[in-house]
Amino acid sequence: MSDAASPDITPAAAGAPATATAGGATQETTTVVEFTQVGKTYDTGYTAIKDVTFRVDDVPGHMEIVGILGPSGCGKSTVLRLIAGLTPQHPATTGIVKVMGKPVEAPGADRGFVFQDYTSFDHRTVEQNIAFGLECRGTPANERLELARDWIQKVGLDVKRDADKYPHELSGGMRQRVALARTLVLKPRVILMDEPFGALDPKTRYAMQDQLVALSREVQATVFLVTHSIEEAVYVGDRLFVFSNAPGTILQEMSIPAPDRPARVMQREPDFLDIVFSVRDLVEGLEMYDRAGT
């Protein structure tokens, strides 16, 4: 992040360009996720989101992490679950949700979900938990266990020490590393994360943020991260969506400079904090503006 770095604030619902230029040539891009005037009203009559429109393109060589900020109950998780195709949020009441150019009809292997709760199978070891999705795909046993061990190391665990442990033997941070590995080993095109680091201590949270940035680039995945932490969103996010109070809609979209140092270092620096404060002022101002109904 340079000394002059600052968020690039753009109008809400402004999509990424349909083409990218590389070496002087115009190159078509693929739209990874697209919402067009999407709304969701539940059977109870409660409207979670309304008129949500955005587009995230696959720009070659640059995989985006999209941070989603907003007050509690504004529909952030609803957006993730609509992308995932999970009921009761799916299907949308109005509008169209597309992934890789096709309307979302059901969950699929091209989308992986990491929840806030430490979702693991209690009767399976770390190695077996990570290999579960590969097992469902029919991957041969030797291959899936080799991949599982590889990902144990990639998320910062130790194969000899941790592979045969059960979830009750792991700390919260370790269990969330297992959940991340279980998702990434499948190499989904889209990774959906709902407050995945919210319950972690600061040191572990920094480490997980660093791993998310590095590993999402490695597997070439587009990430949508719901978080209440502005610091976290600014650090990991390439783009931020700021949602209104319910029914949620995108009030502001902004681009953020990419991280170039570890989270525990960068998040203490004045330049980084200046961006955090500017985003916080914007979020709080938009929330007050929205509540006033103006």
Asked, as a colleague might, if the bond just before 88 is cis with ω within 30 of 0, I would say yes
**Nearest 5 degrees, angle CA 34-CA 39-CA 52?**
45
Residue 93's region, left for phi above 0, alpha for psi from -120 to 50, else beta, is alpha
- Per CATH, domain 30-110+191-294 is 3.40.50.300: yes
Residue 224 to residues 3, 8, 40, 197, 265, Cα–Cα distance (Å): 27, 19, 19, 14, 24
Nearest to 16 by CA among 259, 241, 193, 233: 241
Q: Which of 20, 109, 25 is nearest to 58 (CA)?
A: 20
Q: What is the pLDDT of residue 7?
A: 62
- In the sheet with 30-41, reading across from the earlier edge strand, the strands are 47-58, 30-41, 94-99, 102-103
**Is the Cβ–Cβ distance between 83 and 113 less than 8 Å?**
no
Q: Shortest CA distance to 86 belongs to which of 95, 71, 94, 97?
A: 97
User: What pLDDT is attached to residue 19?
Assistant: 45
pLDDT of residue 54: 97
Pairing between strand 65-69 and 25-28? unpaired
Q: What is the predicted pLDDT for the residue at 132?
A: 92
HSE-up of residue 100 (Cα within 13 Å, Cβ side): 11
Pair 37, 209: CB distance under 8 Å: no
Q: For residue 30, which phi and psi values (nearest 5 degrees)?
A: -100, 135
**Residue ranges of domains in the chain:** 30-110+191-294, 119-187
Q: Report d(CA 255, CA 240) in Å as an integer.
A: 6
Predicted local confidence at residue 17, as pLDDT: 43
The answer to whether residues 113 and 90 touch, using CB atoms and an 8 Å cutoff, is: no
Report the C-alpha gap between 218 and 207 in whole angstroms: 17
Residues ≥6 apart with Cβ < 8 Å to 182: 129, 130, 132, 133
Q: What is the mean pLDDT of each run of 10 residues along the chain (294 residues)?
A: 52 46 55 96 94 89 86 91 95 96 93 79 92 92 94 92 93 88 92 88 89 85 92 93 91 88 92 90 72 58
